[in-house]
Structure 1
Amino acid sequence: MHRRRRTAFVLSAAIAATAPLLAACGSQAHPGAAAVVGGQRITVAELQSRVGEVRQAQRAAIPDTAQYEQVVAKTGTLTRDTLHQMVLDRVLDRAARDAGVGVSRREVQEMRSGLERQAGGAKALQTAWLQQYGVAPRRLDDNLRLQLEAQKLASRLGTDTSQPAFWKALSTASGELNIDLNPRYGSWDVQKSSRVEARTPWLRDVSTGAARQQA
């Protein structure tokens, strides 16, 4: 796979990495918040809305009910994965700002055009991002901007997105933002800039049940 395309997947791939299970540490997240990042809330409603965008896009792409339910079953951690991405997005933004890195709309469009050519068209790219990374079509440009931000931050640091120096910058940003997750979604590991699960087996991902009701 081309190096540029491979590194473009770094943030989505990070979600799939399995982190050690840690007990929740008594989060003090504000009521109604899925997380508090840098003093700003990611509300449960916002999180559910983002998950709903993905489920609606999946349903539109898969008219067969049985096949759709199989997809839902395979993505049963969608709510937690989505929150992970929403928090990590803000961490990356902070690290990029700290390093004086920015991304223009033109750069995003150039990246998107190149990926569309590789994928075989705009629709094919949207489908690929939805299937592989759980990114709804309306969020594609935002996701690509973050991928570019990650690449440019790594370049500014004289490294690449797979190296410790890059993740150290994210760890520093995580610490600065004082991230606090609602315990039902786990906790945030500052050193790894990653969400980790709480030991709460009685909690289930509500996106799975809700998606089946919509089918």
Structure 2
Amino acid sequence: MHRRRRTALVLSAVIAAAAPLLTACGNDAHPGAAAVVGDQRITVSQLENRVDEVREAQRAAVSDEAQYAQAIAKTGSLTRDTLHGMVLDKVLNRAAEDAGVTVTRREIQGLRGELEDQAGGAQALEAAWLQQYGVAPERLDENLRVQLEAQKLAAKLGTDTSQPAFWQALAGASKELGIDLNPRYGKWDAEKVGRVDADTPWVREVTAAQQETPA
């Protein structure tokens, strides 16, 4: 498998399967925010828009409702996975900035051209990224920038994206940013550089009350 393609796989693999989206109240400390990463907010609206982009692309890619239902079933944790990716992108960007790593538009286009040749064209590449990584076509260049940023950061550190040294750099950036997730989406573990389910007793109480309520 092509090395750059492996990079995409590595970054996607850290997105663990999550439980269904909780419908409890949000984080009152950051109203309207799905996450706060340093001094930047990822709003619930921004997150929902990203999820809608993927769902719309999935719907356009299939010919009937049964196929669309299958696509939905395979990406049931899309909201949490998408938020994970949005936060991880910012963490990677900070780590790259700290290391003096930059990515140019020309590099992105070069990688895209190579991947399109391997996939059999632009549409085939977009379909593959949508199916395998949950990346909407309009976000493909943005995702490729992330792949290149990760690859160049690893090279700068004298390692690759599968090795501890790379993830230690991301862990350092996570701690530096002080990431705060809305509890409905879990919490961010800086050491693991990933989203984990939060210990929220009030969610269990709400869920139990709902189950006891007669239909």
Structure of higher CA gyration radius: 2
Q: 1:190 to 1:53 in 2, by over 3 A?
A: same
Distance in 2 separating the partners of 1:93 and 1:73? 31
Distance in 2 separating the partners of 1:171 and 1:27? 24
Distance in 1 separating the partners of 2:173 and 2:196? 17
Secondary structure at the aligned position of 2:138 is classed as helix
Distance in 1 separating the partners of 2:7 and 2:35? 27
> Given that residues 17 and 77 in structure 2 are in contact (C-alpha distance below 8 angstroms), is that contact kept between their aligned partners in structure 1?
no
2:95 match: 95
> Given that residues 8 and 148 in structure 1 are in contact (C-alpha distance below 8 angstroms), is that contact kept between their aligned partners in structure 2?
no
Per-residue Cα deviation, 1:44-93 (whole angstroms, up to 9, x for no partner)? 00000000000000000012101101111121100000000000000000
> Given that residues 103 and 149 in structure 2 are in contact (C-alpha distance below 8 angstroms), is that contact kept between their aligned partners in structure 1?
yes
The unaligned stretches of length 5 or more in structure 1 are: 19-25, 204-215
Secondary structure at the aligned position of 1:159 is classed as coil
Distance in 1 separating the partners of 2:11 and 2:27? 25
Distance in 2 separating the partners of 1:28 and 1:101? 36
Q: 1:57 to 1:29 in 2, by over 3 A?
A: farther
Which amino acid counterpart does residue 142 of structure 2 have in structure 1?
Answer: D
1:5 match: 5
Distance in 1 separating the partners of 2:13 and 2:173? 19
Question: What aligned pairs does 1:34-73 form with structure 2 within 5 A after superposition?
Answer: 34-73=34-73
Secondary structure at the aligned position of 2:34 is classed as strand
Which amino acid counterpart does residue 44 of structure 2 have in structure 1?
Answer: V
Distance in 2 separating the partners of 1:10 and 1:129? 14
Distance in 2 separating the partners of 1:198 and 1:175? 18
2:84 match: 84
> Given that residues 103 and 149 in structure 1 are in contact (C-alpha distance below 8 angstroms), is that contact kept between their aligned partners in structure 2?
yes
Which amino acid counterpart does residue 96 of structure 2 have in structure 1?
Answer: A
Root-mean-square deviation (Å): 1.8
Q: How many residues align?
A: 196
Distance in 1 separating the partners of 2:33 and 2:81? 16
Distance in 1 separating the partners of 2:47 and 2:7? 26
1:207 match: none
Q: 1:102 to 1:87 in 2, by over 3 A?
A: same
Per-residue Cα deviation, 1:110-148 (whole angstroms, up to 9, x for no partner)? 000000000000000000000000000000000000000
> Given that residues 36 and 180 in structure 2 are in contact (C-alpha distance below 8 angstroms), is that contact kept between their aligned partners in structure 1?
yes
Q: What's the TM-score once normalised by structure 2's chain length?
A: 0.87
Distance in 2 separating the partners of 1:50 and 1:29? 23
2:23 match: none
Which amino acid counterpart does residue 85 of structure 1 have in structure 2?
Answer: G
The unaligned stretches of length 5 or more in structure 2 are: 19-25, 208-215
User: Could you say which structure has the greater relative contact order, defined with CA pairs below 8 angstroms and 6 or more residues apart?
Assistant: 1
Distance in 2 separating the partners of 1:152 and 1:125? 22
Distance in 1 separating the partners of 2:174 and 2:17? 18
1:166 match: 166
Question: What aligned pairs does 1:111-190 form with structure 2 within 5 A after superposition?
Answer: 111-190=111-190
Distance in 2 separating the partners of 1:94 and 1:160? 18
